[in-house]
Amino acid sequence: MSRVDPRVKIAGAASLLVVNLACKTYLVPALIALAMALLMTAGSIPYRRQLVAVAFPASFALFAVASQTVFAGGSVLASIGPVDLHREGLLHGLYLALRIVAGGLVVVVLGVSTPINRICQALRWFRVPATFVELTQTVYRYLFDTYDELSRMRQAQRSRLGWASARNGLASSRMLGAALFMRVYERGLRSSEAMRCRGAGPLEGGSLPAPGRLDLIAGLAAAALVAALIFLSLGGWGR
């Protein structure tokens, strides 16, 4: 997957996301999720990293199932105290959960298989405004700065027994949340000024090579998958 042209991957991911949003059947998002899981497995991505990547969309999927089961209405499937669980709401929640997981996996596969600089180069090839691309790069760097600063501040608090108890941990969390933003903002400004003084510009400079045979095969496979999913959606399979 990492050797495939990022333009092919972005076009395929965008097509799958559109089909996932427009479909009205259970089968289409289930097949998309299965295809993305197979790609992650074939790409030799460590299973721990796969679980971490899937955990974020899965949490939204569980919330969708729980909220729809309780609030969507329909025939009562079971009752837990004063709360009624509805059958139609459960089915609709599962449908939404499948779409959330499928869409999340598409984005995850694109992200773990493509470096940010190649994604930005592909976005510029698709005529995405340079301001948006540079903003994407800045946010990407800012997230890593935030994580690094959070790890250092949390480790400093641990060394001072700031997390020795639940009460101390709560107080340390408040202090950490208040100080983290300003520390990262100041660090980002210093890093940006240092890079500009050294003549650094946008990271998306350079050009992508012409697509090769592997890119053509990947593009045809993605087009075939999208066409099959559209056929299944229009045919009403898996309603």
Span 93-103, average pLDDT: 91
What is the pLDDT at residue 18? 94
Residues 75 and 183 in one domain: no
**Domain housing 170:** 140-208
Over 70: is that where the pLDDT of 193 sits? yes
Task: Looking at the structure, tell me whether residues 159 and 219 fall in a common domain.
Answer: no
Angle (nearest 5°) at CA 116 between 111 and 122? 95
Q: Please indicate, yes or no, whether residues 110 and 217 belong to a single structural domain of this protein.
A: yes
Does residue 135 fall inside a structural domain?
no
The reply to whether 6 falls in a domain is yes
The reply to whether 158 and 223 lie within a common domain is no
C-alpha–C-alpha distance, residues 136 and 204, integer Å: 10
- 37 occurs within a structural domain: yes
Into how many domains does the chain fold?
A: 2
pTM, 2 dp: 0.77
Amino acid code (one letter) for 102: A
pLDDT score at 9: 92
pLDDT, mean of residues 125-142: 83
Closest CA to 43 of 100, 105, 103: 105
Residue 123 lies in a domain: no
In a domain, 31, yes or no: yes
Mean pLDDT confidence for 72-90:
83
Residues 234 and 172 in one domain: no
Say yes or no: 204 and 221 in one domain: no
Is the domain of 2 the same as that of 83? yes
Same domain, yes or no: 227 and 187 = no
